[in-house]
Structure 1
Amino acid sequence: MMVKLVRHTPEPERTVAMSARLCYSPIGAAQLEEKISDEQAASLVRKLVSMGHLSTLEHVTFTFAIEGVSRVLTHQLVRHRIASYSQQSQRYVKEHDFETIVPASIASKPEAKAKFDKLMTEIQAMYDEFIALDIPAEDARYILPNATETKIVCTFNARSLLNFFSLRCCTRAQWEIRALANEMLRQCQAVAPVIFENAGPTCVSEGVCHEGAMSCGRLQAILAAKTKAEQKQKQ
């Protein structure tokens, strides 16, 4: 998997702070931007996020180039509607010698891996045969597996990313998209540390878990560690 943050709004936290200040100021955005210090911007952004006033986060965007992932992952990714996507087309890009993403549960078992590889080889041969028979690539692709490697560019605003991370960084999320979300979060924190300082699954960002009986138990561990730290401070 290759994930790269290729573009983002310059000075994202100052942009958020300027937008928020404008709502309550008689002067214009350009003047406000000049008056706000980095420290003031950070303080205001923390306040906005903690209060759930997130509309101004929509002014900043982050664009990622993603490669070496499966169509299983991208089928899940594009369900996050408040984002823009451009994906490598199987209609226009012929899948000769297509690569596959192999789950660890299959790769770790020699017998299963051998059967997986055999099936992929058979699918490749059939796909190539269809193309040779002048079947359009847009129709030949119907036999390609979900494991087929793909490439995609996606753009999210910061508010949408916070929602994405709350769902996909959770240990209950499917392993491949969870790995993607964790890497995207790491790169976002490098350029907008205040916006994303508490981002992640809801057990981290909100101190709650919505998984009910299917909870992984991480919230209990977080709360126990917090209680222990508070008790230590009182000593």
Structure 2
Amino acid sequence: MKVKLIKYTSEPERTVAMAARLCYSPVGAEELAEKMSDGQVEKLVKKIVKMGHASTLEHVSFTFAIEGISRVLTHQLVRHRIASYSQQSQRYVAEHDFEYILPPSIQKNETAAKKFTDLMQKIRTAYDELTQMGIPKEDARYVLANAAETKIVVTFNARSLQHFFSLRCCHRAQWEIRAMAYMMLKEVKNAAPLLFKNAGASCVATGVCPEGDMTCGMFDEMIKLREE
């Protein structure tokens, strides 16, 4: 899996601070942005995050290039509606020798791993045979597995990202999207540490697990994981 932050709003924390200050200021945004010191920006952003004045976070965006993930993962990812997606097309990109994601639970079981890899090869063969018959790629792809590797470019605003992390960094999230979420979180923490200082699973941000009786019971471990 590869996750890289390839583009984001210039000076994201200053932009958020400017938007927040504008709500209560008689002067314009440009003048505010120029006059605020780094210390004022830091103080205001911390206050915004603590207060939950989240609409101001929508003014900054972060774009990721992601590779080495399965269609299982992207089926979950695109359920996050306040985001933009551009995914590698199986209609136009030939999948004769497609890569695939092997879940760890299967990989560590020799018998299961062989059954899985044998099936992937059979699917490759069936795909090749269908395309050789003249079947269009957009129809031959119906035999492809959810395990097939894919690539995607994703853009979130900061508010949507925080919500994404609250759900997908949770210990109960599916393993693959959880791994990706932590890689994304690491990237944005480098770009905007104040905005994402407390980002992560809901329990980490609020001190309360929203899962009720289904809690993982690992609050201390989740705190340590966030700090790493």
TM bracket (short chain) = over 0.9
Residue in 2 that maps onto 1:182: 182
Residue in 2 that maps onto 1:2: 2
Residue in 2 that maps onto 1:203: 203
Residue in 2 that maps onto 1:104: 104
Which runs of at least 4 in structure 1 moved beyond 4 Å after TM superposition?
A: 222-225
Residue in 2 that maps onto 1:70: 70
Instruction: Please say if residues 204 and 223 of structure 2, whose CA atoms lie closer than 8 Å, have aligned partners that are also in contact.
Output: no
- Counterpart amino acid of residue 88 in structure 1: Q
Q: Cα distance 1:99–1:215, how it changes in 2: closer, same or farther (>3 A)? A: same
Measured after TM superposition, the shift of residue 218 of structure 1 is 2.1
Alignment map for 1:51-70 (pairs within 5 Å) = 51-70=51-70
Is 1:37 the counterpart of 2:37? The answer is: yes
List per-residue Cα deviations over 1:157-205 (Å, max 9, x = no partner).
0000000000000000000000000010011000100000000001110
Which sections of structure 2, spanning at least 5 residues, go unmatched?
none
TM-score (norm 1): 0.93
Measured after TM superposition, the shift of residue 222 of structure 1 is 7.2
Secondary structure of the 1:79 match is coil
Measured after TM superposition, the shift of residue 50 of structure 1 is 1.0
Alignment map for 1:41-190 (pairs within 5 Å) = 41-190=41-190
d(CA) in 2 for partners of 1:29 and 1:46?
Answer: 19
Instruction: Please say if residues 171 and 216 of structure 2, whose CA atoms lie closer than 8 Å, have aligned partners that are also in contact.
Output: yes
Larger Rg: 1
Instruction: Please say if residues 67 and 151 of structure 1, whose CA atoms lie closer than 8 Å, have aligned partners that are also in contact.
Output: yes
- Counterpart amino acid of residue 212 in structure 1: G
User: Which one is further off, 3-12 or 24-33?
Assistant: 24-33
- Counterpart amino acid of residue 158 in structure 2: A
Percent identity reads 65
d(CA) in 1 for partners of 2:191 and 2:162?
Answer: 15
- Counterpart amino acid of residue 21 in structure 1: R
d(CA) in 2 for partners of 1:11 and 1:224?
Answer: 28
Secondary structure of the 1:141 match is helix
- Counterpart amino acid of residue 135 in structure 1: I
d(CA) in 2 for partners of 1:61 and 1:149?
Answer: 26
Secondary structure of the 2:24 match is coil
List per-residue Cα deviations over 1:106-129 (Å, max 9, x = no partner).
111111111111101100000000
Measured after TM superposition, the shift of residue 96 of structure 1 is 1.2
Instruction: Please say if residues 203 and 218 of structure 1, whose CA atoms lie closer than 8 Å, have aligned partners that are also in contact.
Output: no
Measured after TM superposition, the shift of residue 223 of structure 1 is 11
Give the count of matched residue pairs.
224
d(CA) in 1 for partners of 2:60 and 2:107?
Answer: 40
- Counterpart amino acid of residue 63 in structure 1: T
d(CA) in 2 for partners of 1:16 and 1:112?
Answer: 50
RMSD over equivalenced CA pairs, Å: 1.5
